[in-house]
Amino acid sequence: MEIRCLKQELLEKVHIASRAISTKSVLPILSGIKITAAKTISLIATDLEMSIITQVNGDIVETGETVAPARLLVDILKSLPGAAVVVKVMPEQGSVNITCQNAEFDIRVLSPADFPELPQITGARTVALKLSTFSHLARQVVRAASTDEARAVLTGILLHFQDKKIKMVATDSYRLAVSQANIDSEVSEEEVIVPAKAITEVSRMQPRENPKDSEPLLRVAFASNQMRFDMNGHTVITRLISGKYPPYQQLIPSGYTTVIELPPTQLEETVRRIATLAQNNTPVRFFFTPNRLIISASTREVGQAREEVPIQYSGEDREIAFNPTFFLDGLASIKEEIVEFKMDSALKPGLLKPRGDDNFLYLIMPVRTG
Amino acid sequence: MGAMVFDDIVGQDQALDFLKKVLKSEQISHAYLFVGPEGVGRRKTALALAAALNCAKGGCGHCSRCRRTIRGVYPDLKLIQPEGNFITIEQIRELQGSIKLRSYEGHRKVIIIDEAGSMNAEASNALLKTLEEPQDEEVFILIAASVEELLPTISSRCQVVPFRRVPREAIIREMVDRRGIDQSQADKIARISGGTYSRALEMLEGEGWRLERREEILSLLKKISGSPVEEAFSVAGALLSQAVGDQDNLLEVQKEEMEESLEVAMSPRHGAFIRNKLRKRHARQLSRKRSLEINDILDIISSWYRDLLVYQLTAQDSFLINRDHRNEIRDMARRARIERLTNVLKEIGKIRRMVGFYVNPGAAFEYLCLLLREV
Ligand SMILES: [Zn+2]
C-alpha cells in the first residue's frame, strides 16, 4: 500500500477515527487505526462498540492495507511540516514508512488480520434526514442519559422514528429529556436504544462541503443488532443496547397548577449564582409567591444565598427543590426566548419547556428538603 | 454433519451427547454449569459449545466464526477468569457494560466464566442480577469443580453438565490411534494422568520433561525413608525448585505482552490502565502455574504412597499407577506400615487444600518430607 495526501487532511481524519478508540482496552490491536487503500483511502477504528470509518482525500499509488498505532500516528503527523505526506507499507520489515519533505519515519505496524471485521448491516431499513436536525435533538437530550453501567438501558438514548418524525429520549431516572422534530421523508416505525457515545459522535459530524450549499443528508440504516450513520464519506457504526426502554410517557404529568414564564437566561443566571453556594449539589429551593419567585440555598457549612425574581404569578404559595446541576442542564437545552417552568407540589416532578413549542420537554424529579 | 468442534474432546461422551442433543433441539438454556475436575476438558468444551452456538453449520470447526471462537477472539465471546485469587465485582460490572449491547455479529453472545467458584460474594450477587434477567441472545457457561462452589441461587439457574475423569482405556486409545504413541508408553502415561486427558497431553510436551521430572521425584522418594533430617530437607529443597523452576518462559511471554501493549497506549492514563490490568493478569497466571506445578508434584508423591498401600492390600500390580516401578514398589510395600501410609496420604490432602492460599510451599514441602522419612 502506498498513499499520498496532505498532512493536515490526514491528521484531521486520524483524529476523527481515533475517537472510536477506547482507553479501557488492553488489546493492542484496538489501539490501532486500519488504513485501507482500495477505491478510496479509508481510516477505520473501533472499540467493538462503536466504529468510525472516514475517507481521506488523496492519491492511491498502490492499493493495500495496514494497521498503525493511533497515538504514534498522531504524534508523527503533528510533528511534520504542512506538506504532502507519503505513507507506504514495507511488508518485509513489518512496518509503515511515512515521509514528508526531508523527514522520514518507520513505525512497526499491527497485523491487519487481527483487526476486527466491521459488521455488515445487510437488508437494513434506511432513512435520511438533515444532520442539523439530528444534532439539535442529540444536544438537547444526551446529558440526561445515565452513566451507571448497572442500569444498562438508561445509558442509551431511545431513538424513535414514526410518521415523518424523529424523537430522542434520555433519562437517568432523576430527569427525563424528550425531543422531537419533523423530517421530510416518510419512514416505517423504528425504535432502538443507541449508546449515548454514538449519538454524540454522529452529532459531531461535519458536512465536508461548503455549508452554504444545500445541506447534505445524514443516512441512517438499521439492523437488528447494529446501526449505521453515513454522511459525506464519514461513517459511524454502533451496536444497539438490548432490553426494553421504560415506559417514560407515564412519568409526564398531564396538567400543572403552577406555570410561570420567563427568559431562560435570566433563570439560568440566578440559579447559577445561588448554586455557587450549593456545593456538592445541595438542593436549590424555588418558592412561588404572588408576583415573586424566590430562589435560595443554604448549607450548614457555608451559609445561605437568596435572590428574588419578579414573575407573573397569582396562585398560592408553593415550594419545590431541585438538584441545581440537573436543573441547569435542562435550561441549557432551551434556546427559545421564553421558558415555561411548571410545578405542582414539592413531591411531583417539575417541568421545563420552551413556550409554545411541544417538541421539547425536560422533566426533573424534586429533591426532598428537611 | 455438524458439531465437528467437539471431535477433539476425549472421554466426555455423556456431556457431549447431551450438548449435541441441546444444539439439535435448539432449546438452548440461558446458563450452563460445567462441573468436574481440572483438566478433563471443561474449558475446551465451553469454547466448542460457543462455536457451535454461532456457527451456521452447528460447529463445523473450520469457518471463520468457529476458528475465531476457538482462539478466543470472537467479538461476541466474553471469557472471564479470576484476577488475583478472585473474580471481582469490577470484572462482573465490566461484563455487564459489554453485554448490555446487542451482539456484534448478529448472533449469540456467549459468556464463559472460568473458575466460577472464585467469584467473591459481591461478584456472585452482581452476576445473579444478570442471570435473573436473561436476554434472548445471551448464553452463560460457568465452569466449576463442583456445584457446591456456587451460590445455590446461581447454580439453580444453570443447567448442570457433569464432566468425569476420563477412563484409562479412552486415553490409551487416543494416545495410540491419534498420536502414534506405543502401547506400553501410552499405558504408563494413562496411569499417571489420573483420568485427565490434558495431563496426558502435557506428558508429551517439551520432549517429555514431565516424565523425566517424575522419574527424578520417584528416585528421591525411594531413598527418603529412614534418611537423616538433613537429607529430608534437601529433598524438600529439590521439590520446591521443581515447583518454581519453570517460570522463565512464562515471564518472558508476559514481559513481551506488557511491552507490546504499552507501546500502543493512547495516553499515560491508558498506559496506567493497561499496566494495572496486565500486572494483575500476569500475577494470576504465575500463581496459577505455580499451584498447578505444586499440585502436580503432590500428585506424583501421593501416587507413590497410594501404590505402596494398594500393593500391601492387594498384592497385585495391575492397579498400580506407577506400574513401571513395580519392583521397587513390591520391595518397599513389604517394609511400610499401613497407618503411616494412610497418614501420609491424609497429610498430602491437607497440604493440597492449603497450599493455594496461605501456606508457603517451601514450608509445606519440608513438613511433608519430615513425615516421609518415617514411612
Ligand atoms: Zn463453523
**Count: domains in chain B:** 3
pLDDT, mean of residues B36-55 = 95
> What is d(CA B338, CA B328) in angstroms, rounded to the nearest whole number?
17
CATH at A244: 3.10.150.10
**Residue of B71, B102, B136 to mutate, interface with A, max A Cβ within 10 Å:** B102
Q: Does A234 have pLDDT greater than 80?
A: yes
Is residue A120 one of the residues assigned to a domain?
Answer: no
Q: Which residues of B touch A28 (CB under 8 A)?
A: 260-261, 263-264
Q: Is the pLDDT of residue A148 over 90?
A: no
Strand order in the sheet with B31-35: B77-80, B109-113, B138-144, B31-35, B159-162
- C-alpha distances (whole Å) from B231 to each of A227, B223, B235, B369, B373 are 71, 9, 6, 9, 9
Residue A113: its pLDDT value, please? 85
Q: In terms of domains, do B231 and B301 share one?
A: yes
Tell me chain B's radius of gyration from C-alpha atoms: 23
Q: What is the pLDDT of residues B151-160, one digit of tens each?
A: 999 999 999 9
Highest-scoring range by mean pLDDT, A8-12, A366-370, B26-30, B106-110: A8-12
Same domain as A238, residue A268 = no
Residue A369 belongs to some domain of the structure: no
pLDDT for the residue B357:
63
pLDDT at A213: 63
Burial (CB < 10 A; 0-12, 13-18, 19+), residue B25, is: exposed
* Domain stops at, among A193, A220, A248: A248
Poorest-pLDDT segment among A105-109, A116-120, B265-269: A116-120
pLDDT reported for residue B291: 83
Burial class (CB in 10 A: 0-12, 13-18, 19+), A186: exposed
User: A183-204, pLDDT tens digit by residue?
Assistant: 998 888 999 999 999 999 999 9
Q: Is residue A25 part of a domain?
A: yes
The pLDDT score that the predictor gives to residue B281 is 87
Considering only CB atoms, which chain A residues are within 8 Å of B266?
18, 21, 23, 31, 70-71
- Under the banding of pLDDT at 50, 70 and 90, the label for residue B356 is low
Query: Could you tell me if A280 and A356 lie in one domain?
Result: yes
Provide the pLDDT for residue A211.
Answer: 56
Count the Cβ atoms, other than its own, within 10 Å of residue B76. 28
Q: A86 and A58: one domain?
A: yes
Place of cell 461478584: B123
Is the domain of A99 the same as that of A19? yes
Average pLDDT of chain B to the nearest whole number:
91
For residues A238 and A129, state if they share a domain: yes
Classify the complex by whether its ipTM is higher than 0.85, answering yes or no: no
Same-domain pairing of A289 and A239: no
Same domain, B8 and B157: yes
- Average pLDDT rounded to a whole number, residues B127-132: 93
What pLDDT sits at residue A182? 96
- Phi/psi at A74 (5° precision): -65, -50
CATH code, domain with B107: 3.40.50.300
How far, in Å, are A39, A57, A287, B139 from residue A60 at the CA level? Answer: 8, 10, 67, 45
Say if residue B103 is in the same domain as residue B188. no
| Single residue among A233, A248, A263 that ends a domain in this structure | A248
- Structural domain contains residue B181: yes
In angstroms, the CA A305 to CA A287 distance is 13
Residue A205 identity (one-letter amino acid):
M
Please give the model's pTM, rounded to 2 decimal places: 0.85
- A275-284, A323-332, B305-314: range with lowest mean pLDDT: A275-284
Establish if B259 belongs to a structural domain.
Answer: no
Judge contact between A225 and B103, C-beta under 8 A.
Answer: yes
Indicate if B122 and B173 belong to the same structural domain: no
Q: Provide the pLDDT confidence category of residue A205 given band limits of 50, 70 and 90.
A: confident
pLDDT at B1 over 60: no
A267 part of a folded domain: yes
In this prediction, residue B28 has a pLDDT band, given cuts at 50, 70 and 90, of: very high
B202 and B223, same domain (yes or no)? no
Identity of the residue in A48, A226, A242 whose CB atom sits nearest the CB atom of B100: A242
**Which pLDDT score, from 0 to 100, does residue A207 have?**
66
- B131 and B238 belong to one structural domain: no
If asked whether residues A132 and A243 sit together in one domain, one would say: yes
pLDDT at B371: 92
- Taking CB atoms and an 8 Å limit, are A242 and B102 in contact across chains? yes
In-domain check, residue B267 = no
Q: Report whether pLDDT(A13) > 70.
A: yes
Are the CB atoms for B369 and B224 separated by under 8 Å?
A: yes
Across the range A318-337, mean pLDDT stands at 94
Q: Are residues B141 and B179 in the same domain?
A: no
Same domain, B123 and B231: no
Q: B58 and B24, same structural domain?
A: yes
Cβ neighbours around B223 below 10 Å, total? 10
Residues A137 and A238 in one domain: yes
Largest CA distance in chain B: 69
Last residue of a domain, one of B130, B147, B162: B162
Chain A residue closest to B89 (CA)? A150
The CATH number assigned to the domain holding B328 equals 1.20.272
Q: Is residue A119 part of a domain?
A: no
Regarding whether B187 and B155 lie in a shared domain, the answer is: no
Give the model confidence (pLDDT) of B169-188 as tens digits. Answer: 999 999 999 889 999 999 99
The confidence score (pLDDT) of residue A215 equals: 78
Which residues from A are below 8 Å from B279, CB to CB? none
In whole angstroms, give the CA distance from residue A92 to residue A252: 64
How long a stretch of residues is chain A? 370
Asked which of B182, B207, B232 is the last residue of a domain, the reply is B207
Residue B272: inside a domain: no
Segments forming the whole domain that contains residue B179: 168-207
| pLDDT on residue A322 | 96
> Where does a domain end: B145, B162, B179?
B162
So what's the pLDDT on residue A153?
93
Bridge partners, residue B159, by sequence = B32
Q: Say whether both A242 and A258 belong to one domain.
A: no
Q: Which pLDDT value is given to residue B292? A: 83
Decide: B17 and B23 in contact? Cβ < 8 Å: no
> How confident is the model at residue A208, as a pLDDT?
60
Pick the residue of A225, A227, A228, A241 with the most B CBs within 10 A to test the interface with B by mutation: A225
Residues A132 and A221 occupy one common structural domain: yes
pLDDT value of position B235: 94
Distance B3 CA to ligand 1 centre (A): 8
The domain of A302 spans 252-364
Under a CB-based contact definition with an 8 Å cutoff, are residues A20 and A84 in contact?
Answer: no
Same domain, B118 and B153: yes
**Domain membership flag for residue B260:** no
CA of B1 to the centre of ligand 1 (A): 11
Residues B41 and B140 in one domain: yes
Kindly tell me if the per-residue pLDDT of A333 is higher than 90: yes
Examine residue A60 and state whether it is found in any structural domain, yes or no: yes
B242-270 pLDDT tens trace: 888 778 889 999 999 999 999 999 999 99
Quote the CA–CA distance of B126 and B89 in Å, as a whole number. 7
Question: Could you tell me which residue, B3 or A72, shows the higher pLDDT?
Answer: A72
Query: Do A86 and A58 contact (CB within 8 A), yes or no?
Result: no
The grid coordinates of residue A124 equal 437494513
Answer yes or no: do A101 and A132 share one domain.
Answer: no
What is the distance in A from the centroid of ligand 1 to the CA of B74? 12
Report pLDDT for A177: 98
Q: Smallest CA–CA separation between A121 and chain B, in Å?
A: 9
How many structural domains compose chain A? 3
> Is B255 inside any structural domain?
no
CB pairs under 8 A between A and B: 85
Q: What pLDDT score was predicted for residue A300?
A: 82
Q: Which tops the pLDDT comparison, B122 or B357?
A: B122
The mean-pLDDT minimum among A328-332, B57-61, B203-207 falls in B203-207
Residue B118 pLDDT > 60, yes or no?
yes
Higher confidence at residue B43 or residue A368?
B43
- Residues of chain B found within 8 Å of residue A226, distances taken between Cβ atoms: 102, 104, 106
What rounded mean pLDDT belongs to chain A? Answer: 93
Q: Which residues of A150-169 are buried (b: 16+ CB within 10 A; e: fewer)?
A: ebbbbbbbbbbbeeeebbbb
Q: Which residue has the cell 431562560?
A: A264
Say if residue A272 is in the same domain as residue A184.
no
Domain presence at residue B76 = yes
